[in-house]
Structure formats: structure tokens, C-alpha cells
Structure 1
Amino acid sequence: TLIHIGQRHAEKAKILLCEYGESHFQEREIGSLERILPLSDGKAVAWIHIDGLQEIPLLEQIGSAFGLHPLILEDILNTEQRPKSEDHGDYLYIVLKLFHEDTGGVLIPEQVSIVLGPNWLISLQEKRGRLFDPIRERLRNEKGRLRKAGADYLAHALLDAIVDSYFVVLDQFGEQIESLEGALIGRPSPLTLRAIQALKREIISLRKSVWPLREMLGGLGRSDSQLIRAPSAPYFRDVYDHTVQVIDTIETYREMLSGMLEIYLSSISNRMNEIMKVLTVIATVFMPLTFLVGVYGTNFKYLPELEWRWGYFTLWGVMICIAVFMLIVFRRKKWL
């Protein structure tokens, strides 16, 4: 029995079919899988895109129609998979993560599954998005070699779009890091610390999803699968190079955030040291004054200075002179 694992999205599944070849293109939204079966002849490529994983009977129909192994269907419904690829001979299964920000600016992962066949491709997303719209636009307008190539090149285009979306996320991270650097130069607050920690958690989350992708794409670029033809292999290696760039940027940002965290802690420590220095100076200045006040506050009957007419004012003068003298000494020694 198939069970959905992960966050549920209350969206009805939407099926979009694109059939294309070098001289034709057809796109339509369909209500059920029966309307697209059987597929066109081998000269045309059929791209079936499904938004929403809530309708398990639909996935069971897909598995039956395309001969997908039940474990593949389980992996599609388990949205907590790590990026990987599996070659099953007649088809190739690929899973990876897509990231977007919610209304609160928190990075949300979304699983994308791709099943590549000889002349067909099935892509599945957890919810509706516009990431693949430029690819459909290229198909409509006959731009590039997409219409002339096979389903394997379409798989490359989808992977390339997802990896390129990581650069958009990293650009947003870069802007946040610049903002945090400005806050660190000024007077950082506990809010700055929380922002650094939150951004570091998101960077680590992105790294966990992208790191296995490098190995997976490297394997696809060197794959001897019949589903990835020799002319398309260099394009998969190009996506691999982009993934390496993403990982390098992630590592750079992670190190920068670790350094910023150390700078914040050092700044707080230095500020505390400054406060303690001021308090120490105040306490040191008052030590001799406290001694004098303590001497003349003793409860003895005979104190010579008690009978002096100007004794009180003399005591004040002595204490003020001592305090001023000590402050001058501290200033010259650059303790203040």
C-alpha cells in the first residue's frame, strides 16, 4: 500500500502533457491518465508533468502504465528522500530537492522526482510552481535544441533549471550576509545572533540537499545507460559543474557565517570587558575615598580633626584631589 510521507499540501493533482518533436508541439492539461495512453510514436517526446502528490490512485496508474517498480512509487511519495538516481534499464529514476522561501522568508525544501524513459519523461512536484515555465516556453517557440533533442536532453533541462534556482537562493543568502556584516560592524544585538544562527541552519539544510547531488550528476554524466545518449552526456556534465559551483559558494558562506559568529562573540566579550574596565576604575577610585570616610566614621570619642573648623571641607578637598589624581593617572596609562 502506497503512503505519502512528508508535509501534505492540500492541492488537487494537476497533469500537464507536452508532446513535441522537431516539427510539432502540443500542450494540454488533462484530467486523467487514460487520456494520454497510449503514447505517440517513438519519434515524438511526451513530457508528463504532475503537480501534487496527494492522489495515490493516480500514481498507481502511472506505475502500472509505465511499468514502474513499486519501490519507485514509494520513493516518489516519500518526500524526505536524499538526491539520488537509479537505473532500472527501461527507465531512469532521479530525485532531488527544490528550494523556495515561504511568506516568512524561511527556506522550504520541495522534492522533485523525474522518471526518464526512451521517448517519455515524467516529472512530479509536491505543489504547483513556475520553475519549468521557461522550458515550456522554449518548446513553444522552438528556441535552442530542445525540440530537436530527445527526452534525455529534456531531463538535462529540468535538472539545469533546478540547479540554477540554487544560485537565486544563494544570491538571497549573500544579501542577508552583507546585511549581517553591516550589523556586526555597528553594535550587534541578540537579534543579530539569532539571524546568524537561522541563516546558518538554512545554509546547512541546503548543503545537505546539494552535496549528494554532485555525486548523482557526476554519475549521470559518466553513465553508460542507453537512456542518456552520447550527445546529451556533456550537458549533464555541465550541470555537474554548476553544482560544484553551488557547493563551493555554500562552503564559502558557511565559513563566513562561522566567522561572523566568532566576531559576534568576540564583540560581546570586548563590550563586557569595556564595562568591567569602567566598573573597575570606579571601584579603584572609590577605594581610598572609602578608606578616608571609614576612618573618620569610626565611633571613637577623641579624633583630633573633629574639632577643626575646616575639617569637613578639608576632607572633601582631599578626596576630590585623590579622585582627580587617579583619573589623570589612568588616562595617561590609557586605561580610560
Structure 2
Amino acid sequence: MANEATERAPGCSAQLVGFDFASKREFALGVGELEAAFERQNFVWIDVTFSDVDATRAWLTELGLISDDVIDEALTREAATQLSRYDQYLHFVVSECHLVGRALELERIDCVVAARFLLTIHRHGASCLDAVRKNYPQDFQRFAKTPSFLIYELWDQLAESYILVQRALEERVDELRIRLVQRADDEAFNRVAELGSDLLNFRKVLLPARTVLQDLGTRRSLFLSSTTQPFLMNLVGTVEHVQQELLVDRDILAGALELQMSLVAHRTNKVMRKLTVVSMIFLPLTFLCGVYGMNFRNLPELEWRHGYALFWFTAGAIAVLVGWLCRRAKLW
């Protein structure tokens, strides 16, 4: 944005933009102008992208806006949505989700909201924050009355990203469902396992996100306008809807897998029934072969002229009879 200033520091960069809600004016400023902006009762959004933990820790400590504990947590912890309340500010963590190929990746974004500033900290580029930068100028001019509108803008973009991820996962579920029915192989089962893991991980993101969002939307705070809270509660419904759709996707995937297992079991049963018929036919024939294969001299049929023909007639009659009985019993 034209009204943003970018500050370069060792191991990180910061984009700063100031807001004057009385005159509906936004303006660029540097880190050295923060104190003057605070004295003028302006609100400042500071977005920090870091690559080096130690250098960024030193820069944030020198900035002096948040405590060392919050700095360490923001720079070293894994992505996990949570909310902490302090006397001087609110600190909440959100997890941005996006799909890279077939892998679900999470990006931790720490947000610190105080009376005069919003500080966002993240390691890599955050698409939801880019969307906030793109969309907030119009909302700021038309609707915004308090700095809390930035919190709503952030959660609105997060909810939109959750919807997009859920739709992408839904397409993968439908693709795998068709593949399991038509042509199941080892790769298909591996992809089912991967997708099941992604669905579970995504659910682990949505559950705390809903809890934090509901807390922000219901519990009063000095740093969050009461006029913004009803809009945050509307987003709670959006996140709940995504959760329900995710559960449906998981049920569909489980149903497709169970159907495939049932088809495999059915095909196995058909093969076993055929093998059973063959065994039933050859079992009495094996008995006859065993009898006439014994090394006894007193076997009258061996000396009889028509003994060989009688053996084959008996064997054929038994095979036909057993086959007819199996057919009648619908074994094949």
C-alpha cells in the first residue's frame, strides 16, 4: 500500500501504517515516529516478518511494546491458536492454513492488540494479512469507527481461507471416493491415509480457532470494541459451518473406505465359494483315488476287464452329482 512504510532491520522487516479515525486518514510512518503517533492518539499497525530469531528478539525488545515472554513465545513456538490476556494488551495466536500440493501447511501469526497499536508477527509471508492490506482501505473509509475493525478484517480473511481449504479437501475426498470404487491400489490407500491426517490436523486448527473467536466475541475487553464483537460472533458461525463440512468430508472418506473393504471382502467370498465347489467335487474323487491306489492284492476291480471304465464312470457321476447339488444350493 502507498500509505505503508517498510522498516528494514537485521533478521526482520516491519511494515507500519497509522490510522487517524477522527479524520479518516491513514498515513505511513517509521519506527522513530511511533511515540509521536501515540501522543496524537493515532492507532498504528506494525506487521513484522522475521527470518532470524535472535536479531528479531533484539529489535522487538528495543521497540519496547511487548514483554520478553510474549516475544519468545511468538518467535519460537509452533503454530497453535490461543488467547492470553494482559493488563496492557491482548495476545492471541492464529494459524493460517494453506495447501501446498497435497500437504497441509500451517503458518503461525501472533497478534498483540493494545490501545494504540496492533502488532502482528510471523515468520513467512501471510496471505491473510496481504488480503487485509488489500481490503481494509475501503472498509476504513466507509465503516470503521474503532481500531477493532482490523481484528475483524483479520478473522474474516482467516475464515475465508478456512473455507477455501475445506473446499480443496472436499475435492480430494470426492476424487479419492471415486478412485477407491473404480481402481483401488496401494497409492490410493496411501493417499487416504494422508488425507485423513490432513482432515484431522485441520480440525485441530478449527476447534481452538472457534474457541478464541468466541471468547473475543463475547468477553468484554478494553482493547476490543463492543461494536465489533457481534461481527466476530457471526464469524463463529462461519467457522462452525466449516467444522460441520469437515466432519461430513471425514464421514464420506470413511464410508468410501468401508465400501472398498466391503467390495474386497465380497470378491474374496466369491472366489472362496468357487474354490469350495472345486474342493467338494474333488474330495470324493480323491477318496476313490486313495482307495484304488492302496497296495493290496485283493482288489477285485483291478482284475476286472471293465474296472477302469467303471472308475471313470463313477468319478464322472460323482462330479456331476456334486456339481448339480452345488448349483442347486447356489454356491456358484
Q: Structure 2-normalised TM-score? A: 0.84
- 1:14 counterpart letter in structure 2: S
Distance 1:285 1:255 in 2: 45
Aligned to 1:106: 103
Could you say if the C-alpha distance between residues 218 and 133 of structure 1 is closer, same or farther in structure 2, counting changes exceeding 3 Å?
Answer: same
Structure 2, unaligned stretches of length 5 or more?
A: 1-9
Distance 1:146 1:73 in 2: 34
Distance 2:191 2:247 in 1: 18
Distance 2:328 2:11 in 1: 76
Aligned to 2:71: 73
Please say if residues 14 and 46 of structure 2, whose CA atoms lie closer than 8 Å, have aligned partners that are also in contact. Answer: yes
Could you say if the C-alpha distance between residues 324 and 125 of structure 1 is closer, same or farther in structure 2, counting changes exceeding 3 Å?
Answer: farther
Distance 2:324 2:151 in 1: 76
Aligned to 2:134: 137
Distance 2:171 2:207 in 1: 23
Shift of 1:63: 4.1
Please say if residues 52 and 128 of structure 1, whose CA atoms lie closer than 8 Å, have aligned partners that are also in contact. Answer: no
Give the 5 Å matches for 1:153-172: 153-172=149-168
Could you say if the C-alpha distance between residues 317 and 132 of structure 1 is closer, same or farther in structure 2, counting changes exceeding 3 Å?
Answer: farther
Distance 2:306 2:262 in 1: 52
- 1:48 counterpart letter in structure 2: I
1:56 to 51, 54, 57: 54
Aligned to 1:126: 123
Could you say if the C-alpha distance between residues 34 and 113 of structure 1 is closer, same or farther in structure 2, counting changes exceeding 3 Å?
Answer: same
Distance 2:206 2:78 in 1: 14
Could you say if the C-alpha distance between residues 172 and 312 of structure 1 is closer, same or farther in structure 2, counting changes exceeding 3 Å?
Answer: farther
Distance 1:147 1:121 in 2: 19
Distance 1:252 1:163 in 2: 18
Distance 1:209 1:277 in 2: 49
Quick check: 206-215 or 313-322, which moved more?
Answer: 313-322
Instruction: List per-residue Cα deviations over 1:88-118 (Å, max 9, x = no partner).
Output: 2332111021122234x11122211111122
Shift of 1:158: 0.9
Instruction: List per-residue Cα deviations over 1:267-324 (Å, max 9, x = no partner).
Output: 4433333333222222111101111211222222343333445543443343233223
Aligned to 1:270: 266
Give the 5 Å matches for 1:120-269: 120-140=117-137, 142-143=138-139, 148-186=144-182, 188-269=184-265
- 2:47 counterpart letter in structure 1: H
Distance 2:145 2:178 in 1: 49
Structure 1, unaligned stretches of length 5 or more?
A: 1-10
Quick check: 146-155 or 113-122, which moved more?
Answer: 146-155
**SS of equivalent residue, structure 1 residue 253:** helix
Q: Report the count of equivalent residues.
A: 320
Q: Structure 1-normalised TM-score? A: 0.83
What is the percent sequence identity of the aligned residues? Answer: 24
Task: Tell me which protein shows more helix as a share of its residues.
Answer: 2
Distance 2:42 2:300 in 1: 116
Quick check: 199-208 or 313-322, which moved more?
Answer: 313-322
Are 1:116 and 2:113 counterparts? yes
Are 1:280 and 2:271 counterparts? no
**SS of equivalent residue, structure 1 residue 151:** coil
RMSD: 2.8
Distance 1:170 1:251 in 2: 10
Please say if residues 46 and 119 of structure 2, whose CA atoms lie closer than 8 Å, have aligned partners that are also in contact. Answer: yes
Aligned to 1:6: none
Could you say if the C-alpha distance between residues 114 and 188 of structure 1 is closer, same or farther in structure 2, counting changes exceeding 3 Å?
Answer: same
Give the 5 Å matches for 1:4-19: 13-19=12-18
Distance 2:306 2:148 in 1: 103
Shift of 1:179: 1.9
Quick check: 198-207 or 305-314, which moved more?
Answer: 305-314
Instruction: List per-residue Cα deviations over 1:139-162 (Å, max 9, x = no partner).
Output: 45x257677343211111112211
Distance 1:302 1:120 in 2: 110
**SS of equivalent residue, structure 1 residue 38:** helix
